[in-house]
């Protein structure tokens, strides 16, 4: 009997030990799962801007009382041709403004499309509503030499367009898509294979053939659905593109915030060889809470010590209350105020092929 009681006691002790080990393992797993979220991640899976040490920096390039009370009146702007021989030159690098924030960037024989929208409207329903183009795309999709990589800055309809993505995939079925967190699912629903999508968080990196990418912060927002719950449910940001010793910054759609995001980008990557900076949708001044003014874009050009900057996010869709000609005019004024040479930061025309790294 004593032997049986001893064996029973030993078995009970082993059970207690096993239970303790199991609990310890479960606790460790729970602790790992509860690792603190990055500051720009919210517990409910949404995202937020964290550059809030001071109130967002706003800019007034014109007294709000003088800004038109109607949205931008659109008219067709010139579309230019020329320099097509540079597309045929595998040693040449160029950037071509298609319109809005869409650039075709050719780095020798590697082709990149940034925030491609070739559709007539920035809208989920092309035939019904949404901002309509004032000028057709500066270059047709079918005219581009090749597209190896698509960059997406965020999910707003004027930057992430279903029809354009599907057309790109049809023409270049092996193209890679680099997108912010939680946008991969959208592309997969449009037929893009998961294996061809790179989904990154701020400061994460990836390499695609000849280019190295870093997804960098930007002060902005996201929203694609009709309900408020979709606001900030996907991430937003910009892209640093490293090609050999050259560095390019596609800023995406940005506001200044408190400036700390861009100081961090400058500290890590300056000098930048080519920056693609937005200059539109900033009037009246309340809109500089979500977009930079041309003056602020010029300040960012100086901050990152950009050798060459090209303007975007203007002249294509009627979004707010700028006059159509305001962004390039205000950029010219900002260049003069800040002592920036005209050739260092310019607004290309629709379809213009601009040589890079002169």
Per-residue pLDDT in tens (0 to 9) along the chain, 358 residues: 444 444 444 444 444 444 444 444 444 344 435 689 999 999 999 999 999 888 888 898 999 999 999 999 999 999 999 999 999 999 999 999 999 999 999 999 999 999 999 999 999 888 778 899 999 999 999 999 999 999 999 999 999 999 999 999 999 999 999 999 999 999 999 999 999 999 999 999 999 999 999 999 999 999 987 777 789 999 999 999 999 999 999 999 999 999 999 999 999 999 999 999 999 999 999 999 999 999 999 999 999 999 999 999 999 999 999 999 999 999 999 999 999 999 999 999 999 999 999 7
Q: Are residues 12 and 144 in the same domain?
A: no
The residue to which tokens 């980008």 are assigned:
265
Is 48 within the bounds of a domain? no
Q: Are residues 341 and 278 in the same domain?
A: yes
Is 43 within the bounds of a domain? no
Is 41 within the bounds of a domain? no
Is 47 within the bounds of a domain? no
pTM of the model: 0.90
Q: Are residues 23 and 135 in the same domain?
A: no
Q: Are residues 9 and 88 in the same domain?
A: no
Q: Are residues 7 and 95 in the same domain?
A: no
Q: What pLDDT shows up at residue 157?
A: 95
Q: What pLDDT shows up at residue 33?
A: 54
Q: Are residues 179 and 304 in the same domain?
A: yes
Cis peptide bond prior to 208, omega within 30° of 0: no
Beta bridge pairs of residue 310 = 276, 346
Q: Which residues contact 130 (CB under 8 A, 6 or more apart)?
A: 121, 122, 123, 124, 157
Is 54 within the bounds of a domain? no
Distances (CA, A) of 140 to 31, 96, 107, 171, 197: 52, 11, 19, 12, 24
Q: Are residues 138 and 7 in the same domain?
A: no
The total domain count for the chain is: 2
* Sheet (strand 345-346) strand order: 205-208, 211-216, 238-243, 246-250, 274-278, 308-312, 345-346
The residue to which tokens 């009970």 are assigned:
12
Q: What pLDDT shows up at residue 53?
A: 83
| DSSP track, 261-322 | HHHHHHHHHPSPSEEEEE--S--SGGGGGTS--HHHHHHHHHHTT-SEEEEES-SSS--SS-
Q: 24: domain range?
A: 1-35
Q: Are residues 125 and 211 in the same domain?
A: yes
Closest CA to 298 of 311, 289, 283, 281: 311
Asked if residues 309 and 344 have their Cβ atoms less than 8 Å apart, the reply is yes
Q: Are residues 27 and 136 in the same domain?
A: no
Q: Which CATH number is 232's domain given?
A: 3.60.15.10
Cis peptide bond prior to 59, omega within 30° of 0: no
End-to-end CA distance of the chain: 95
Is 110 within the bounds of a domain? yes
CA 162 to chain centre: 16
Q: What pLDDT shows up at residue 127?
A: 78
Asked if residues 161 and 190 have their Cβ atoms less than 8 Å apart, the reply is no
Is 286 within the bounds of a domain? yes
Q: Are residues 171 and 318 in the same domain?
A: yes
Q: Are residues 15 and 109 in the same domain?
A: no
Q: Are residues 21 and 76 in the same domain?
A: no
Is 93 within the bounds of a domain? yes
């Amino acid at each position: 009997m004593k032997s049986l009681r001893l064996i029973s006691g030993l078995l009970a002790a082993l059970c207690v030990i096993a239970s303790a080990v199991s609990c310890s393992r479960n606790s460790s797993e729970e602790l790992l799962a509860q690792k603190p979220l990055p500051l720009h991640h919210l517990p409910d899976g949404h995202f937020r801007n964290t550059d809030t040490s001071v109130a967002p920096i706003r800019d007034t390039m014109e007294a709000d009382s003088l800004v038109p009370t109607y949205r931008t009146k659109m008219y067709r702007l010139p579309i230019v041709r020329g320099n097509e021989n540079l597309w045929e030159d595998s040693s040449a690098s160029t950037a071509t403004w298609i319109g809005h924030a869409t650039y075709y960037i050719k780095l020798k024989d590697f082709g990149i499309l940034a925030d491609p929208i070739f559709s007539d409207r920035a809208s989920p329903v092309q035939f019904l509503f949404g901002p309509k183009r004032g000028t057709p795309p500066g270059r047709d999709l079918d005219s581009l030499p090749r597209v190896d990589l698509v960059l997406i800055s965020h999910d707003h309809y004027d930057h992430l367009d279903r029809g354009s993505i599907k057309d790109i995939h049809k023409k270049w079925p092996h193209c890679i898509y680099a997108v912010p967190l939680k946008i991969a699912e959208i592309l997969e629903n449009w037929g893009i294979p998961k294996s061809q999508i790179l989904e990154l968080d701020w400061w994460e990196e990836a390499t695609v053939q000849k280019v190295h990418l870093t997804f960098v912060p930007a002060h902005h927002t996201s929203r694609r659905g009709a309900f408020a719950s979709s606001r900030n449910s996907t991430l937003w940001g910009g892209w640093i593109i490293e090609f050999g010793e050259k560095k390019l910054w596609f800023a995406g759609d940005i506001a200044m915030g408190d400036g700390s995001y861009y100081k961090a980008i400058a500290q890590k990557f300056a000098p930048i060889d080519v920056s693609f900076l937005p200059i539109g949708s900033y009037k009246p001044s309340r809109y500089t809470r979500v977009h930079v003014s041309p003056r602020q874009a010029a300040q960012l050009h100086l901050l990152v010590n950009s050798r060459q900057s090209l303007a975007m996010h203007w002249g294509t869709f009627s979004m707010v209350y700028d006059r159509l000609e305001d962004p390039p005019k205000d950029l010219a004024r900002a260049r003069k105020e800040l002592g920036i040479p005209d050739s260092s930061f310019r607004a290309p025309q629709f379809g213009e092929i601009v040589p890079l790294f002169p």
